[in-house]
Amino acid sequence: GEGVAKITVSYTEGAVTKIDEIIVKVNPVLLDSIVVLPETMDLLVGESKTITSVTAHYNDESTKVVDLEECTYTLGLSNIANVVKVSESGKISAFNPGIARVVVTYKGKTDIVLVTVKPVLLTSIEVDP
């Protein structure tokens, strides 16, 4: 946690006592940002992939890998054409060709995964006689 403490140190030698005080301030560790991987995702219609990781970055330069279920997921306005859907656990499913932005939020900080969905193309046809 955070707080302030005053430490008093005294030392006596003979008839002389020396006293010194130190003020110690503990600053809170605050969340600066999150980084979501992958930054981009390419899917074919009908495919699904799960976000690889969400890492929280704090003001003391420490990091923490966040459980995907601790995050919330929303879709940007670019998903009007129902390009993708995203589950509460970070699984992104592709429904229609296009580009969508998945906004990942953890404790008020956000990052974006840019998802490109391509159509499944017919590559060959076999005909049995």
Return the higher-pLDDT residue of 103 and 4.
Answer: 103
Q: How far apart are CA 95 and CA 64, in angstroms?
A: 32
Cα-to-chain-centroid distance, residue 53: 7
The answer on pLDDT for 80 being more than 80 is no
**Degrees to nearest 5, angle at CA 104 with 92 and 72:** 85
How far separated are the first and last CA of the chain, in Å rounded? 77
Q: Give mean pLDDT, residues 62-89.
A: 91
11-66 per-position pLDDT tens digit: 888 888 888 899 888 888 999 999 999 999 999 999 999 999 999 999 999 999 99
The answer on pLDDT for 81 being more than 90 is no
Domain 31-118 CATH (choose: 3.40.1160.10, 2.60.40.1930, 1.10.10.10, 2.60.40.1080): 2.60.40.1080
Give 79's pLDDT tier (boundaries 50, 70, 90). low
Q: Where are the domains of the chain?
A: 31-118
Predicted pLDDT of residue 1: 60
Residues 6+ apart with CB under 8 A from 49: 41, 43, 91, 92
